[in-house]
Chains A and B, each alone.
Chain A
Amino acid sequence: MEPMISVRHLHKSFGAHKVLADINVDIHTREVVVVIGPSGSGKSTFLRCLNFLEQPQEGDILIEGTSLMAKSTRINDIRTELGMVFQQFNLFPHKKVIENIMLAPVQVRKWPAEQARRKALELLDKVGLSEKAEAYPASLSGGQAQRVAIARALAMEPKIMLFDEPTSALDPEMVGEVLAVMKDLAREGMTMVVVTHEMGFAREVGDRVLFMEQGAVVEEGHPEQLFSHPSHERTRAFLSKVL
């Protein structure tokens, strides 16, 4: 079966600084891939390349067989299939929660407002925030804001969800509520790529874990195997610090 995402010989530099060096990864439908690694290992850059927020210099990324690097590809169309959740939530502060969620379906998918509103309310219910529909983002806690951000991404009915350290900016007591929403999504069969420091989540929900260091995938495997029996010295060293 054709992979949902296929990353081939991906290279990315910021100036002279090489951030990603020859990344090759296939991600399949319904798979939850968790990317772990020390700060500066390139894992966020890797994730941001997947929806072209960062442009790689070499290599290619195929989303359902469509090359992101091809001139003929309309990147905006591809992005509608990839939901993205950011560390800092990036909610639109001038719009109410419900408007945050409805905006892209109405403007990009051209849904009628009524349909978008129904979808938004349904998603708010799913993330447990129905009562916040008319609130502004500034009045939300971090955990609530991130759940709204997840709902906003889901409103586009994406095939893939990308999470860029979704719990790193949260107070510890709010991490659980966000991870719970992500676990639900994984259970429903969403294809997910998650950059995180939550090793418990990686172990419990991940189908596969990638360990990145210095811009390369050092090791990948099933979470049980990678956490319990890492085959590389660098993986062992990293895990001994975080577990």
Chain B
Amino acid sequence: MDFRFDIIAHYLPVLLKGTAFTIGVSIVSIIFGSILGLGIGFGKMAPKAYFRWPFHCYINFFRGTPLYVQILIVHFGVIPAFYGSTNVLMTSFVALSLNSAAYSAEIFRAGIQSIDPGQREAAVSLGMTGFQAMRFIILPQAVKRMVPAFGNEFIVLVKDSSLLALIAAPEIMYWSNTMKGQYLRIWEPYLTAALIYFILTYSLSKLLNYIERKV
């Protein structure tokens, strides 16, 4: 079997642009997904059941339906409703952030609830407010326990961003598909895409291992 490195070389500039897109979307979605997830996680820990309910529904919807479907709904439904027309970049950020927030919320919740209630009691018995207890005592300890789970979530997010090819977002898979269409070859485009994703996720896991040792 001949393996045509020349077509990979030909596509390399756009594949690199696609990689930059994937990295950009992933970083933004990780940030917004985590912030949103923190809020949703707290919402799900609210003492009143009726207050928990919408957060509970959110998490179940985004975890219980395929990202594929969510991307289509956001792209053809949500974004046009707010923005007037479809927008690939917005869909990419919004769909991945909303999806990631559901998983992040559960990671936050599990991390926070894993801290011994005695820690909070000690903090508030010293006169700290609930917010101070959370900020100085509970979150710093909980975050340490969340790092491995977040690492996992971030890696999944990077890989799941490949589904954005579905709406022609100019990321790695999109360009690989284009390459396949132009040359009618399978191995070169898809092995190249696989290799790029692997490099991204492997670097990310190394980075997270480093952070895990540090905290």
* A interface list, Cβ under 8 A from B: 51, 53, 76-77, 79-80, 82-84, 86, 88, 90-94, 103-104, 107-109, 149, 152-153, 156
Contacts and interface: CB of A to CB of B under 8 A. Distances in A.
A84 B125 contact: yes
Contact of A107 (B124, B125, B128, B144): B128
24 contacts: A51-B125, A76-B127, A76-B128, A76-B129, A77-B127, A79-B125, A80-B127, A83-B125, A84-B125, A86-B121, A88-B116, A90-B116, A90-B121, A92-B122, A92-B123, A92-B137, A93-B141, A94-B144, A104-B123, A104-B126, A107-B128, A108-B128, A108-B132, A156-B126
Contacts of B136: 103, 107
Interface residues of B, number: 18
Nearest to A91: B122
Interface of B: 116, 118-119, 121-129, 132, 136-137, 140-141, 144
Closest 4 CB pairs of A and B: A80-B127, A104-B126, A90-B122, A84-B125
Contacts of A91: 122
A188 to B, nearest CB: 20
Contacts of A86: 118, 121-122
Contacts of A82: 125
B122 A156 contact: no
Contacts of B124: 53, 76, 79
B129 A90 contact: no
B119 A107 contact: no
Contacts of A53: 121, 124-125
